[in-house]
């Protein structure tokens, strides 16, 4: 969104704030007086000072709520949460790992959507910081609220930076370095292997929307970058992508691209790779004929993202792009990653769920992510 198109939204937000402020005047809410002590959080363009003692974080950006919990491993520091769908809670394991997410979501009537900023409710909650979409942060800051503008990371560095900011906000800065070191080691290990492969499959990563339309992941998105790092070639670009990061594609355009591999996002309307392959619209594609269509793993909540889970996603891609060169080690890697980062030891059934094993049954080489892969993971291949 450019600055000019963002202004109407900002003006509407300010008008809404004024209405809520009037309501708040009828029932005054006193904010905590500054204690003098502050927690300083370094942001890309400025620093954020948070009053002590810390009064918790209001999470107004649902896609990054799970990342806050994983990066901080301090669920008690979250004081409020935008309402999450039952699919996000019941369909993912994040609420099992952190029951506070479900608890806060049940209490989130005052924050039904990221756009519905109920100023009176915010003032009553009186959070130490508010994580909100970038274009809403400025109006909140103007009325003296501790807003922290957050954007979905578009590259690997953004993922690391976001996690470290979250940890700093929660007073757990010490988690940043070990999480980043583990991230870097995992990325380096995978990319050191995939950089040697000259045979790079042509990959198309898409989200299938409920209306049947297709949104692709361009080369400048995080998914597009991961495809390249995993030893594939993202074929969306040029006339299809242009400067649009996630272009909409027609069935004809998808057919003209005719990729070797198709990755379907975890948030897509299609429940399994088999459902895609059997759809008459997609049946003739090369990837469908070769059964190299895969629904991306759901992870702990609707996708592998963030500083803990993105390295798992990278290895998942690499093993699918180069199944003959890489041993099936993802399942073991995933279990070790969760245990090390957040002391979570998933069961076999939970790993199946995290890696979306059932959603990819019948696809080429999908067996390597099931429990059957464990007998093959200790081979001499990398």
Confidence of residue 25 (pLDDT cuts 50, 70, 90): very low
Compute φ and ψ for 294, nearest 5 degrees.
-140, 135
Q: Is the peptide bond before 53 cis (omega within 30 degrees of 0)?
A: yes
Mean pLDDT, residues 67-73: 95
The 10s digit of each residue's pLDDT in 164-216 is: 999 999 999 999 999 999 999 999 999 999 999 999 999 999 999 988 889 99
Backbone angles phi, psi at 367, to 5 degrees: -60, -25
Residues 233, 235, 236, 237: is their CA dihedral positive or negative? positive
Per-residue pLDDT at 350 exceeds 90: yes
Q: What is the pTM of this model?
A: 0.86
Confidence of residue 381 (pLDDT cuts 50, 70, 90): low
CA-to-CA distance for 159 and 73, rounded, in angstroms? 16
Report the length, in residues, of the chain.
Answer: 382
**Over the stretch 317-326, which tens digit does the pLDDT of each residue have?**
999 999 999 9
């Amino acid at each position: 969104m450019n600055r000019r198109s963002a202004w109407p939204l900002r003006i509407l937000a300010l008008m809404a704030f004024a209405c809520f402020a009037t309501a708040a005047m009828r029932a005054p809410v006193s904010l905590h007086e500054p204690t003098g002590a502050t927690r300083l959080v370094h942001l890309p363009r400025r620093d954020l000072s948070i009053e002590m003692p810390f009064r918790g974080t209001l999470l107004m950006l649902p896609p990054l709520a799970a990342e806050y919990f994983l990066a901080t491993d301090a669920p008690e520091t979250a004081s409020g949460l935008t309402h999450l769908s039952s699919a996000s809670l019941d369909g993912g394991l994040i609420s099992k790992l952190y029951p506070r997410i479900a608890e806060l979501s049940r209490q989130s009537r005052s924050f039904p959507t990221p756009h519905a900023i109920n100023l009176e409710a915010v003032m009553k909650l009186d959070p130490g910081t508010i994580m909100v979409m970038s274009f809403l942060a400025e109006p909140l800051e103007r009325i003296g609220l501790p807003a922290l503008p957050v954007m979905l990371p578009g590259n690997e560095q953004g993922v690391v930076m976001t996690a470290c900011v979250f940890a700093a906000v929660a007073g757990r800065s010490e988690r940043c370095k070990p999480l980043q070191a583990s991230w870097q080691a995992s990325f380096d290990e995978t990319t050191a292997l995939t950089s040697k492969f000259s045979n790079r499959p042509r990959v198309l990563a898409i989200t299938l929307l409920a209306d049947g339309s297709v949104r692709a992941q361009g080369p400048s998105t995080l998914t597009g970058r991961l495809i390249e790092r995993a030893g594939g070639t993202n074929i969306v670009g040029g006339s299809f992508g242009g400067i649009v990061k996630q272009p909409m594609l027609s069935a004809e355009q998808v057919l003209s691209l005719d990729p070797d591999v198709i990755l379907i996002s975890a948030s897509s309307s299609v429940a399994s790779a088999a459902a895609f392959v059997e759809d008459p619209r997609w049946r003739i594609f090369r990837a469908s004929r070769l059964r190299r269509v895969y629904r991306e793993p759901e992870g702990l909540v609707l996708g592998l993202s963030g500083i803990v889970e993105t390295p798992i996603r990278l290895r998942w891609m690499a093993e699918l792009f180069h199944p003959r060169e890489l041993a099936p080690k993802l399942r073991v890697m995933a279990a070790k990653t969760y245990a090390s980062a957040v002391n979570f030891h998933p069961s076999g059934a939970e790993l199946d769920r995290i890696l979306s094993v059932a959603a990819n049954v019948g696809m080429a080489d999908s067996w390597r992510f099931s429990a059957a892969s464990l007998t093959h993971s200790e081979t001499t291949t990398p």
